[in-house]
Structure 1
């Protein structure tokens, strides 16, 4: 029985190369996944970050300019009690409110819920 030492060492070298390539591929996949997760997280943080008043005014001017093409106008009102912006869609000819976002009923409900929570909880942590 004859054993081919040369062939065995070549096979072992090939197997080692395959193992290293596999580990490298796995490391690259893990790195790419980590980068995707980091990018998604930064996008979420950027979306959740508050914008400055100056930026908000610029955005509002752009929106108002676009809506001037229609027979409607938008009114943006800052509700300081709730910390939200209320948008009213108004007919240009009749100056009548067509739609309010969020609706007045939801604003009242939100206000009442904040008051009820304030009665239950005395301090903010």
Structure 2
């Protein structure tokens, strides 16, 4: 790939800025909606998942798999468990990643409130 040639027919980047600003505002609104407290619909969905997860766990625990819902982020957590000792061999996503995601969500809330 050769060098980028810029001449008088190349549209300036400044012309795209209003469109980009609109996209940024739209994304900021979506992020704000996500970081707000869970709505009744989200809570209902989480409650609706509890019973099916219990049935799946009844079938999969003897095979060394367990599923759970994260309390803070409503993410599904999968654990591979040693059937003999009951120790967790692997958790997906890892506990560290769940904590990191929680901290990032907190920071997003702070950034949005500072910009507003």
Relative contact order, higher structure (CA 8 A, sep 6+): 2
**Structure possessing the higher radius of gyration over alpha carbons:** 1
Tell me the TM-score normalised to structure 1 length: 0.45
Tell me the TM-score normalised to structure 2 length: 0.47
